[in-house]
Chain A
Amino acid sequence: MKKSNLKLINTTLKVRQSNKSFNVNKFRRNFSNILFKYFCLLSSSILFITLFSIIFFIGKTGILVFKDVPLQTFLFSTNWTPEEHHFGAAAIIIGTFVLTGMTLLIATPISLAIAVFLSEIAPNWLKRIMRPMIDLLVGIPSVVYGYLGMTVLIPFIRRITGVDMGDGILAAALVLSLMVIPTITRISDDSLTVLPNEYREASYALGSTRLQMIWKVILPGAKDGIVTAIILGMARAIGETMAVVMVIGNVAQLPITLITPTSVLTSNIVMQIMNVQSDSTWHNALYMMAFLLLLISFILIACIRLIRNKGEQTI
């Protein structure tokens, strides 16, 4: 604060001095002022243009697939053998949803337990250790998670179940959970922490124990924030690529058991796009899958906006 005050005085002095050669400086100052405004406007327009060109480029190429493959086949057939010209993405789409569902099933309870612990129970010194540690998990590259999954988790699954491969939904869901837990935890933790202390005091004054306070007052109070956290976690799980590629097996078939090698949208795109010719139906089908991913993430963002608007109305 003090530093910026000093700067303020400095600027004033400069401005006063510049008043002497008023006309030239005035022009220059106005010019840079306007230039900067347009620079900022241009920068923010770049974001806008990027979004629309992504939708345009991906959609434009993706839509071409329907020239060769009917929509029903693409969405509802589970036969994905592009070499023989069968382009049914259903197994891959189902795989994506099953994987995301499994991930949330594992990650949500764990994240909530950590978030509640951090905001309500943990002493300050432990908070100061745990929060940076959890942030650190976000920063670890996804290939490192995939590498851990391949070298530690999959041999472990092989030993327990006795199968040869071990790749599949279970391994991918466990790896993804680890990546999603920090996201859900930190956002829920924030929305629990900002709840006014009066809530807690009122609850204690009515004679409730800490568990009752958490269960009946704090968790319902932060409901919106927690749901937002889960949706953001979901978005991350759906969009994650490399960690999943390394542990899911990359076979386009229905995930019948948890350890059947299967495939999801992201992994399928990355594994196949490098080997196909552009302008082929296969290429276009992969772009269509990317377009589906885009659609899903936009729907999730719309859900978050709805929740936020609802929250603003009730207050």
Chain B
Amino acid sequence: MRVLTRKRKLSKAMDEIASITLWGFNLMFLLLIIWILYTILSKGLPKLTPNFLVELPDEINIGGGIGPVLFNSFYVLFISLIISIPVGVGAGIYLSEYAQKNKFTFLLRMSVESLASVPSVVFGLFGMAIFVEYFHIGLTIIGAAVTLALLNLPVITRVTEESIRALPIGLREASYALGTTKFECIRTIVLPAAFNGIVTGICLVAGRAYGESAVIILTAGTSTSGRMWDFNLFSPGGTLAVHLWYIQSEAIVPDAKEIADKAAAVLVLVVLMINFLLRIPVWFKEHKFKI
């Protein structure tokens, strides 16, 4: 009995120690995240001026801005989303609503899963092989946007499929019972009900595409056309993420360090904003449930 009690005491002590260690460890990790965000933002934000956001980058002199690259970031993101949202959502609808259990569906699922795991640099090389070497259009915004769209497709497909699958089957049955066709059922019942999930997924993808750099370097290059508001799809389209890499490791501008600090702060700030947007539908949902 005494041995047992001693053992029990020992395991209780171990339990206490483990709990305290885990608490301490996790609080440290939380502090680490906060410290990282603080480091990035505190280095860049104080020096940030509105001019920096719209001015042209300079290769030699002090005082270059990030205007065209910031514009390209959003422009490439926007075009890639225009391409990937209809296709990705369509594929998600097919997999959840139409696909029968056969070999073709199995192959489709395999390709979605495999595509999702293909490293982004391989997508970049693929885009380069097609747009630069096959079509000979050089490093362009459109090449980057299409490649980025392909990179994001599997994620949008999976998110759409999952959020449609989560809907109760009764919704669909009720709609069919009223005589709607499958398309009307999907358009008026299924998609609105799965809207929140799909939007959350798209926001996630947008954040990823916005920060993606390997694909952009290989398909759009590191430079820009050197003009602000250049909507030409065939001009080179270095984005902010690429510019940060370029300025940090390759550039010869004297104030490269300061530009890098500011560019990183802007990058993270936009990511924080996208994350905030992401929370809104979730927040709405929770709020609705409470009422």
Contact = CB atoms under 8 A, between A and B. Distances in A.
Interface of A: 1, 3-4, 7-8, 10-12, 15, 29-30, 32-33, 35-37, 39-48, 50-54, 57-58, 61, 110, 113-114, 116-118, 121-122, 129-130, 132-137, 139-144, 146-148, 150-152, 178, 208-212, 235, 238-242, 245-246, 266, 269-270, 273-274, 278, 286-287, 290, 293-294, 297-298, 300-301, 305
Contacts of B188: 7-8, 10-11
B120 A239 contact: yes
Nearest to B97: A40
A48 B267 contact: no
Contact of B91 (A47, A51, A110, A114): A47
B107 A48 contact: yes
Interface in B122-179: 122-126, 128-130, 133, 150, 153-154, 157, 171, 174-175, 178-179
A152 B97 CA distance: 50
Tier of interface size on chain B: 35 or more
Contacts of B82: none
Nearest to A152: B39
A292 B21 CA distance: 41
A54 B271 contact: no
B191 to A, nearest CB: 10
A44 to B, nearest CB: 4
Interface string B226-240: 000000000000000
A267 to B, nearest CB: 9
Contact of B272 (A117, A136, A152): A136
Contacts of A41: 94, 98
Given A8-B178, A147-B248, A239-B120, A137 B33 contact: yes
Given A141-B267, A147-B244, A270 B121 contact: yes
A38 B287 CA distance: 38
A208 B11 CA distance: 9
Contacts of A46: 87, 91, 153
A246 B15 contact: no
Contacts of A146: 245, 248
A141 B212 contact: yes
A239 B91 CA distance: 25
Given A39-B90, A40-B91, A54-B118, 9 more contacts: A44-B95, A46-B153, A54-B122, A110-B29, A147-B245, A240-B119, A269-B121, A290-B121, A298-B117
24 contacts: A8-B178, A10-B188, A40-B91, A51-B111, A51-B115, A52-B111, A54-B123, A116-B22, A117-B22, A133-B33, A140-B211, A141-B267, A143-B241, A143-B242, A148-B36, A208-B11, A238-B119, A246-B248, A270-B217, A293-B119, A297-B118, A298-B114, A301-B114, A305-B113
A210 B12 CA distance: 9
B224 interface: no
A241 B119 CA distance: 8
B42 interface: no
B72 interface: no
Contacts of B271: 136, 139-141
Contacts of A241: 119-121, 213-214
B179 A15 contact: yes
Interface string B191-221: 0110000000000100110111110011000
Contact of B93 (A33, A40, A47): A40
A130 B211 CA distance: 22
Given A121-B23, A273-B218, A7 B87 contact: no
Given A42-B90, A147-B248, A11 B175 contact: yes
B192 to A, nearest CB: 6
A273 B125 contact: yes
Contacts of A136: 33, 37, 271-272, 275
Contacts of A211: 11, 14-15, 18-19
A117 B157 CA distance: 32
B178 A15 contact: yes
B268 A144 contact: yes
A52 B236 CA distance: 28
B193 A4 contact: yes
